[in-house]
Amino acid sequence: MNDAPAIAVHELTKLFEGKRAVDRVSLTVARGEFFGFLGPNGAGKTTTIRMLCGLMKPTGGSAWVAGHDVVHDPLGVKARIGVLPDTVETFDRLTGWELVNFSGLMYGLPEAEVRRRAGVLLDLVDLDPADREKLVIDYSMGMRKKVALACALVHGPEVLFLDEPFNGIDALSTSALQKVLLDLVSRGVTVFYTSHVLEVVEKLCTRVGIIDQGRLLALGSVPELGMQAGLGPDASLQESFVKLLGRETRTGDLDWVRR
């Protein structure tokens, strides 16, 4: 393993029809770091992730993931990352078992090894043998997420991009998956994690970046963000997040609602 950071982003920019979706974002994520990437809806999180995954060409700037240039070597990036998107659009006429096997083979793993890993991963995400043989189209949202996570992990990625991974998953499975992710991080895997559930981000992430209107507003650990927001190191991530965005929380005058 080389010493280069897992993710290195410099002045990354993306324009959509003249509008700056991502505006000169620069950040570095070390190997084995659990990094949180936060922002309100439409802030530019998904666009940034898509550029880092080699799924979208940046308009300007540069980015390296796992030591590979996302613009000039997107296949090299894709071979070293695992992605769990927010909405799981996948091959839903395959069974869960087949889908994980298909993913492993697409990453060039030998068939016997893919089968071994698929078994381990589906045990890990708690998908019982009967459910593994069902078509993905018949899965609940939680089951789809679990299978998608297994697909993202089957090839042993160096960097894992997770977009709302616990959305739709029950509390028991969420707890188990969080342990799995922390274990992966302890083994040197880098997790780039986005979520709107700030309590979970605060619990899991070592550092957090906050993006709004395409610009990176703040970067640091939760106490550092509290300091940057002027709230002190003990401020919660929620308080710092709201303060850093600098927007009033709207309440409105609901005069027709009675106590």
Q: Give the interface with other proteins as residue ranges (CB under 8 A).
A: 16, 46, 50, 53-57, 74-76, 78-79, 83, 87, 89-91, 93-94, 98, 102-103, 105-108, 111, 135, 137-138
Q: What would the DSSP string read from start to end of 77-145?
A: HHHHEEEE-SS----TTSBHHHHHHHHHHHTT--HHHHHHHHHHHHHHTT--HHHHTSBGGGS-HHHHH
Q: In the complex with other proteins, which residue's Cβ is closer, 103 or 190?
A: 103
* Sequence-separated (6 or more) residues with CB below 8 Å from residue 242: 249
Q: In the complex with other proteins, which residue's Cβ is closer, 17 or 248?
A: 17
Q: In the complex with other proteins, which residue's Cβ is closer, 22 or 198?
A: 22
Distance of closest approach, residue 50 Cβ to other proteins, in angstroms: 6
**Measured between alpha carbons, how far is 49 from 152 in angstroms, rounded to an integer?**
15
Distance of closest approach, residue 46 Cβ to other proteins, in angstroms: 7
Distance of closest approach, residue 211 Cβ to other proteins, in angstroms: 17
Q: In the complex with other proteins, which residue's Cβ is closer, 89 or 255?
A: 89
Distance of closest approach, residue 258 Cβ to other proteins, in angstroms: 17
Structure token pair of residue 126? 């708690």
Q: In the complex with other proteins, which residue's Cβ is closer, 76 or 119?
A: 76
Distance of closest approach, residue 228 Cβ to other proteins, in angstroms: 30
**Measured between alpha carbons, how far is 175 from 103 in angstroms, rounded to an integer?**
25
**Measured between alpha carbons, how far is 169 from 183 in angstroms, rounded to an integer?**
19
**Measured between alpha carbons, how far is 25 from 12 in angstroms, rounded to an integer?**
5
